[in-house]
Structure 1
Amino acid sequence: MPETVTLIPGDGIGPEITASVVRILEAAGAQLQWEEQIAGETALKQVGDPLPKATIDSIKKNRLALKGPLSTPSGTGFRSINVALRQEFELYANVRPVRTLVVGGRYEDIDLVLVRENTEGLYSGVEHYIGIGSDPRAAAESVMLVTRFGVNRILRYAFEYAVKHGRKKVTLAHKANILKYTQGLFLDMGREIAKEYEGKVEFEDRIIDATAMLLVMDPYRFDVIVCENMFGDILSDQIAGLVGGLGLAPGANIGENAAIFEAVHGSAPDIAGKGVANPSALLMAAVMMLDHLGQKEPAQRIRTALEATIRENDSLTPDLKGSGTTQTFTDAVVRRLGSS
């Protein structure tokens, strides 16, 4: 039976790349059926709510969503829609793999995975102003909320991911030398849990700033990196830069009761409607979704067709230094699926 997936095309270039991805999935024989919903600026314009109840209910029912990039309305008091979705469905693990597809770049043969805690830390949104005298906004305070429960589940997810996918090492990136309580808890639990995986997965810990430097100097020393929310947000963009940018960066948000797969990049309103958007990141997120569902055969077929299209410079979009369009790029991938 086909799996029913909540499909959120998103804003900006979202509908264009989503249509491309749906076409490629169908050409590969993926067993999926779609339940389309809206969010972000599109939803705000249509129904006055950037995260409508119908969209939330659809994800609750299907427990699975493929999401195009969303724009959070500015100046309206709305927080990030992506953060709201992660918190609504307790999507505690943000998984962002990067792998070299474009040859001739600054690095070759990059193959890394970043596992980011997705619900706690500074991004938990516990912050406020502090008034002093006549100034109600004299100071601002944010709370880095870290719980033993949250740390335990993200670390175990990272180690289990490494075992399941045949990865050799987990690196815990932290700032426990300065943040001795919040990051100290992360580090202490990491060392304890690592003992359970001795002989299966190598473990190391590194200060976050040293990790960022070494990712530039020698990224090959890393395999799976796990860290808290804000550090993971920063490092995930950095590792995307190792393989050519966010246009080639997929992401998965995993929880106990739902999973949302997405392109990491934004809605790019400056090129919306021009037909030149690169659908690769959302397509790779869809491939992650197929793997999650156990649909390995169509996932591998798409992976092979996409890699061949990029490596052979066939109809690449401008962000990949080509002169192709979203349509011609999609045609090239579909053509290879037809001949595989």
Structure 2
Amino acid sequence: MAENALSGGLDFIASLANCRQLEVATNHFEGVLPDAYGNLSMNLQYFHVSDNNIKGRIPAGLENLSSLISLALLVNELRGTISRTLWSLKKLQVMYLGRNKLTGPIPSDIGLMTRLSRISLGVNELSGQIPDSMGNISGLQVFDAPVNKLSSTIPLSIWSLPGLITLNLYQNRLEGLLSPQIAKLKAVEYIYLWSNRLSGDISSALGKIQSITYLDLSNNLFHGQIPQQLGRLSSVKYQNLSHNFLFGVIPKSFSTLSYVNSLDLSFNMLEGEIPEGKVFSNVSITSLVENRALCGAPKLQFPPCPANVMTSNLSTKLRLHKYVLPSVASVLVFLACFSLFINNI
């Protein structure tokens, strides 16, 4: 009964006692889900009532559906907290509760659902910390909880999820540093952390995650220089570091990025020469605007670099030849003479 224009209440569901799969998604049903739905078949594996006008709370009776593998209640009008009774669903692999009006914290008991592979809690009004117990869900592949009011730091246990592919926590109130332990996410492809309050340096450990294809750290409080290692993400297609407080030069390593379709470094405090390379021949001027003093890239209408910037590498080499090498040579001559002196005594 999915993707029709059916309407009315959901009382009829209770009569479908022998169903193993029940899907009434993308219709116009309304009303509440009474606890009596827990009287459905103990063999029910899929319960999908998404994209309707379901109101009320998540019914406690769902805990009786002990064989449930997939629960989808997203895009409704559900209110209240996430029912702790859901944690008794030990076989549950997919839990979609996004796009409702759920409030309160993510219960720490979520760590008991060790078979979960996908969690969708986005676009609700959830608050509080992300529970450290999330690290117990070792098979988790997707953690999707954007557009909420989650606060505090990202628990270190998140970085220990070996199979995590998608980490989607944008538009929350997360704060603190981005731990170097993020490099443990060997399989992650999508990291969306934009519009939070994360601060400190952007960890160079990100450069070790060669599986990343989409990285968005924009609209945070990151400062310091852009790590050279971010230019070594061989698979990255989208990288957004805009609207932070990053300073220094754009790493030369960025010029070697092969697959990037979008790179946004705007609204920072970057300066110096814009590197040459494929990625900078494709970006628009809006991807680099509102920085301190970028130069070069005439196609993007930036001013030419001053001579002191263009010749900085040459000046470094000249200083090496003029000062450092003669000093080293003098030391070597002194040591040779001293050695002869000692041997002649």
> TM over 0.5, yes or no?
no
Structure with higher Rg: it is 2
Which is richer in helix? 1
